Structure 1
Amino acid sequence: MELSDRITVITGGARGIGAEIAAELAAQGATLVLTDIIEDELQKTVEDFKGKNVKVEGVTLDVGNEQQVIDAFKYIGEKYGTIHILINNAGISPKVNGKRRSTHEIPLDEWESVLNVNLTGTFLCTRESLPYMQRGGWGRIVNISSLAGRTSGRIAGSHYSASKSGMGGFTRTVASEYGSYGITANCIAPGRIESPMTKTATEEANQKFISEIPVGRSGTPKEVASLVSYLCSEKAGYITGTTVDINGGIFMV
């Protein structure tokens, strides 16, 4: 129960990787505040956790809306007194008939929407969490990036790759600015993980991707969640400003 009573905010926490991260951190004793824009799925996930005696609350939130983020984090901070852990997991990757748009086909509104959720949302939630972590002298920020931000978008579009690549630079700067407060900031870059997002791609595209992975399979949300749990622990206090790849060996550095 290493994270006992740690107030933990997870964006995009209603399903997939976000919900699995929530389960993993709850097992370590964390108090969860799950946010998501999909209200019905969020409430279902919250009720499921409550049925397992997890300390959890759901807050409907569009992470790309500045005022909603300000209001949500003010509410969380006032109710719980602080914020210890932030997992920036919310993200979108638009497809058309299961396929990405090539760069010359991407309309500006779609480009801006992807960057607004994936990158600006990460900035806004981090910005609103940092003062609480500073006052408490301890914090963990884990940003869920992507293999697409480390190499190129095999299935995702260039807007998704750009947003996830930008997340790495943002994370390194936050780590350098706030390390003296006991705050660490790291990225995790998953490859092909079984999740609702991967199902938006065609079966053919997914199978081609898997055929190129050295371990011969997709990853699981639980494997990502286990890594997140470690980075949130005291054991990882000397790890900051890095991007940890979890991709079955398809990209190696």
Structure 2
Amino acid sequence: MRFVLLSLCLISSVSGFAPPSLLSPAATRPSLSATATSRSTTALSMSNGGVVITGSAGGVGFAYAGEFMDRGYDVVICDVKDCSAAAKALTDRHPNGKVYHTKCDVSDAKSVDQLAQFAKKNLGTVNYWINNAGVNGGRRDLRDVPISQVEMVVKVNLLGTLLCTKAAMEIMGEQAGVTGHIFNTVGSGVKGGGTPGYACYGATKRGLPQLTESLVKELDEGVQGYPKKETPGKIQVHSLSPGMVFTKLLLDDSTPELRKFPFGVLAAQPEEVAADLVPKILATTNNGGSVEFLTTDRILTKFFERFVLQKKSEYIDDDGNVIKTPGAQYDELGVRSLY
């Protein structure tokens, strides 16, 4: 009974704990330097479709790209930092699709517009746009967070999602006969629970379901008092919840206690999350769909394995330290390098 009560109490607070990929802040706005990595830079791909993934130089965004490429999709990856090494790794590992890479600061309207033009030029058709870029701003009391950090979290997580969603909708609306899907990544705070230490992050993530619900109604019903917009292409907007993923965003400023629980029980590696979510993304057909990794069944199973069967974590030891796989490379936080 104690196990069941514990499980039910925690399910609503841990689902979609944190976005998967870190979009590192830059000292100045980066100029967009667009470079395509592909087997052919002159002809548009004859692929299953095109995908744009923000914040994809590493973490689950990088893993999403590989899963889409394995299924024959061509992908644009972008980040505030250079993505050339990530693009090379994807090309080498996933030959079924092409990858194009560019820099983009999602919090800057001009940079997002350049990303949109880059995607149209290289992909031809954008079937999926994954708003994955996000930052947590560090785990600390709001009173100790510098104003510049507050601004960055709000601009990247909320303004960035708005700008990218608007750009994606404009592209997809022009694609006659094609249904385009936009996925907004939610995280801790999305269901209204408190996020002590992550007040800025939680506030930005709390706004995304409202954004998605508003857009779903605009697309399905229009805006009262105005003619309903009809476009050649169909647009759908959805929510994407990767849960807890072992990335810099999750482990930054974490404590041994947090790493033991809940991270050691519920967190997963980027590849595992992407392998589960990409098929669900591709199977989503109804506007306003919700795709999540930490489903209720998965959470209950993890709790049962840990607290009833006493199964040890594959990734965190009894002292709250990251268990490092021989031969793999890790940074100072214990985040494993994907390439």
Cα separation, 2, equivalents of 1:163 and 1:146: 9
Greater Cα offset, 109-118 or 241-250: 241-250
Greater Cα offset, 134-143 or 196-205: 196-205
The residue identity in structure 2 corresponding to 1:141 is: I
The residue identity in structure 2 corresponding to 1:51 is: D
* Structure 1 residue 44, shift from structure 2 partner: 0.9
Equivalent in the alignment of 1:249: 299
Cα separation, 2, equivalents of 1:113 and 1:6: 33
Cα separation, 1, equivalents of 2:219 and 2:127: 14
Partners of 2:243 and 2:292 within 8 A in 1: no
Q: Alignment partner for residue 273 of structure 2, among 216, 224, 229? A: 224
Partners of 1:210 and 1:218 within 8 A in 2: yes
Cα separation, 1, equivalents of 2:277 and 2:237: 11
Cα separation, 2, equivalents of 1:46 and 1:35: 10
Cα separation, 1, equivalents of 2:280 and 2:213: 15
CA deviation profile, 1:20-60 (whole Å, cap 9, x unmatched): 11111111111000000121xx2111001122323001111
The answer as to 2:214 corresponding to 1:170 is no
Cα separation, 2, equivalents of 1:232 and 1:183: 14
Partners of 1:175 and 1:241 within 8 A in 2: no
Partners of 1:142 and 1:231 within 8 A in 2: no
Q: Alignment partner for residue 50 of structure 1, among 91, 94, 97? A: 91
The answer as to 2:173 corresponding to 1:131 is no
CA deviation profile, 1:122-161 (whole Å, cap 9, x unmatched): 111111111221222311111111133223325x510000
Q: Which structure 2 residues correspond to residues 136-155 of structure 1 after superposition, within 5 A?
A: 136=175, 137-150=178-191, 151-153=193-195
Structure 2 unaligned runs (5+)? 1-45, 221-229, 301-339
TM-score (norm 1): 0.83
Q: Alignment partner for residue 117 of structure 1, among 148, 156, 174? A: 156
Helix, strand or coil at the partner of 2:117 = helix
Helix, strand or coil at the partner of 2:78 = strand
- The structure whose residues are more often helix, as a share, is 1
Q: Identity percentage over the alignment?
A: 24
Number of aligned residue pairs: 237
Cα separation, 1, equivalents of 2:280 and 2:106: 23
The residue identity in structure 2 corresponding to 1:238 is: N
The residue identity in structure 1 corresponding to 2:285 is: G
Equivalent in the alignment of 2:127: 84
1:21/1:227 Cα in 2 relative to 1: closer, same or farther (>3 Å)? same
Partners of 1:69 and 1:125 within 8 A in 2: yes
Partners of 1:18 and 1:89 within 8 A in 2: yes
* Structure 1 residue 81, shift from structure 2 partner: 2.7
The answer as to 2:221 corresponding to 1:191 is no
Helix, strand or coil at the partner of 2:137 = coil
Equivalent in the alignment of 2:37: none
Equivalent in the alignment of 2:111: 68
Greater Cα offset, 240-249 or 72-81: 240-249
The answer as to 2:198 corresponding to 1:157 is yes
Q: Which structure 2 residues correspond to residues 200-215 of structure 1 after superposition, within 5 A?
A: 200-210=252-262
CA deviation profile, 1:73-98 (whole Å, cap 9, x unmatched): 12221343332210000011122xxx
* Structure 1 residue 231, shift from structure 2 partner: 4.1
Cα separation, 1, equivalents of 2:58 and 2:285: 28
Cα separation, 1, equivalents of 2:200 and 2:81: 22
Cα separation, 2, equivalents of 1:21 and 1:244: 14
Cα separation, 2, equivalents of 1:164 and 1:45: 27
Helix, strand or coil at the partner of 1:122 = helix
The residue identity in structure 2 corresponding to 1:225 is: A
Two-structure CA RMSD over aligned residues (Å)? 2.5
The answer as to 2:29 corresponding to 1:29 is no
Which of the pair has more CA radius of gyration? Answer: 2
Helix, strand or coil at the partner of 2:51 = strand
* Structure 1 residue 230, shift from structure 2 partner: 3.2
The residue identity in structure 1 corresponding to 2:79 is: D
1:31/1:148 Cα in 2 relative to 1: closer, same or farther (>3 Å)? same
Cα separation, 2, equivalents of 1:131 and 1:61: 18
TM-score (norm 2): 0.63
Cα separation, 2, equivalents of 1:50 and 1:13: 14
The residue identity in structure 1 corresponding to 2:208 is: M
1:20/1:6 Cα in 2 relative to 1: closer, same or farther (>3 Å)? same
